[in-house]
Amino acid sequence: MFGLTEEQIAEFGLTWGVGGLIALMLLIIWSVARESKAGRFGTFVLFFVLAFGILGFAMKQVIQWLIGIR
């Protein structure tokens, strides 16, 4: 499709698709924190926990780059 291999399409979908879902999750968490009146600390905790997931996804890419899997 469009001159791309299946591997290239999968990598594009993983990188941009998961990135888009992370952005959507940030909006959802912000909305939930605002509607539930979580306060500053509650909102911080919600975003802090989400940041661990984002960090894990980013570190996977960095580790792959460092050990030369790509």
Q: What is the pLDDT of residue 13?
A: 87
Residue 42 lies in a domain: yes
CB contact at 8 A, 50 and 25:
yes
Give the model's pLDDT for residue 31. 92
Residue 56 domain-assigned (yes or no): yes
pLDDT at residue 56, rounded to an integer: 86
Token output for 57: 């996804």
Res 69 pLDDT > 90: no
* C-alpha to C-alpha distance for 60 and 64, rounded to whole angstroms: 6
For the chain, the maximum distance between any two Cα atoms, rounded to a whole number of angstroms, is 50
The DSSP H or E segment spanning 11 is helix 6-12
Give how many domains the chain has, as a whole number: 1
Handedness of CA 31, 34, 38, 43 (dihedral sign): positive
pTM given for the model = 0.64
Query: Is residue 1 in some structural domain?
Result: no
- Show the domain range for 30: 6-67
19 within a domain of the structure (yes/no): yes
Q: pLDDT tens for residues 22-62? A: 889 889 989 988 999 888 999 999 889 888 888 888 888 88
